[in-house]
């Protein structure tokens, strides 16, 4: 499978180059960066500490889609929407690891799935997706005597909060309780907030250092607390999941899929 990487000179982009290069059945077929980037024209291999790959960094995303089987995108919401439209136009696979979408942006990505094969994951790690399944099941078993709080910490450079993974977990909890997530989500507390509302799903956000991603879902009742957690030590886990998603999507019909589909955890 020929795989292209958008944002190939960034931290995740370089990790993806390495992962694709080391995965049987895959080749790095190209990569893009923004116009004016100092990396334009460079071979992708040395960017990731690999041998030359005879594929250079360009700023022509449309041309990249023409020459590959799948594209992996961990960039920004606005850019990802445009890439989803390109995937639909050209009938290619797009694997999305971008987070922080608005409802409108997500709707545009979903619409693109009518013509392209899109695999989107708030988190590409196997462990996090298992955590989401556990969260859903525990939330379904425990009633509202158990308050649900989602805690997350990431590196100082992360720009969206709560993280896409935290929201994935909160939405899994809401699904378990069969409630509308947006109606019960408490995404920020400051000042005199009053008592905690029964049934809410709360979020707490920490930023600092170079933390790749720590997530905990807490179920707190009087006199007992249940916690389930995942700690990411290296971005390689996200790159592995993204490449696995691209391989899984080969020959799939047009549609919008997620990592639960890729991992066979849907039900």
**Active site residues per annotation:** 154, 158
User: What is the distance between the alpha carbons of residues 67 and 62, in angstroms, rounded to a whole number?
Assistant: 9
User: What is the distance between the alpha carbons of residues 136 and 100, in angstroms, rounded to a whole number?
Assistant: 22
The residues with which 204 forms a beta bridge, in sequence order, are 151
The per-type count for the chain, helices as H runs and strands as E runs, is 10, 12
Best CA proximity match to 146, nearest among 215, 224, 229, 204: 224
User: What is the distance between the alpha carbons of residues 171 and 221, in angstroms, rounded to a whole number?
Assistant: 20
Distance of CA 175 to the CA centre of its chain: 19
User: What is the distance between the alpha carbons of residues 171 and 179, in angstroms, rounded to a whole number?
Assistant: 9
Distance of CA 97 to the CA centre of its chain: 3
Q: Which two tokens stand for residue 116?
A: 């392209």
Burial 136-175 (b: 16+ CB within 10 A, else e): bebbeebeeebbbbbbbbbeeebebbbbbbbbbbbbbbbe
């Amino acid at each position: 499978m020929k795989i292209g990487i958008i944002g190939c000179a960034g931290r995740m982009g370089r990790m993806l180059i390495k992962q694709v290069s080391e995965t049987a059945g895959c080749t790095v077929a190209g990569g893009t960066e923004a116009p004016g980037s100092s990396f334009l024209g460079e071979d992708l291999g040395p960017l990731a500490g690999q041998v030359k790959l005879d594929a250079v960094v360009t700023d022509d995303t449309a041309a990249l889609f023409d020459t590959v089987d799948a594209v992996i995108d961990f960039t920004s919401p606005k850019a990802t929407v445009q890439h989803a439209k390109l995937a639909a136009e050209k009938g290619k696979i797009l694997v999305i690891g971008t987070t922080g979408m608005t409802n409108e942006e997500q709707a545009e990505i979903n619409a693109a799935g009518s013509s392209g094969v899109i695999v989107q994951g708030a988190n590409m790690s196997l462990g996090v997706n298992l955590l989401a399944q556990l969260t859903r099941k525990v939330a379904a078993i425990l009633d509202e005597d158990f308050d649900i709080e989602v805690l997350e910490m990431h590196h100082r450079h992360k720009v969206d909060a709560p993280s896409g993974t935290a929201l994935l977990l909160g939405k899994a909890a809401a699904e378990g309780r069969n409630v509308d997530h947006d109606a019960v989500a408490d995404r920020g507390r400051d000042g005199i907030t009053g008592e905690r509302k029964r049934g809410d799903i709360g979020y707490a956000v920490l930023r600092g250092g170079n933390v790749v991603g720590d997530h905990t879902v807490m179920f707190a009742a009087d006199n007992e607390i249940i916690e389930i957690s995942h700690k990411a030590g290296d971005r390689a886990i996200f790159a592995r999941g993204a490449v696995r998603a691209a391989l899984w999507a080969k020959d799939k019909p047009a549609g919008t899929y997620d990592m639960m589909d890729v991992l066979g955890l849907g039900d």
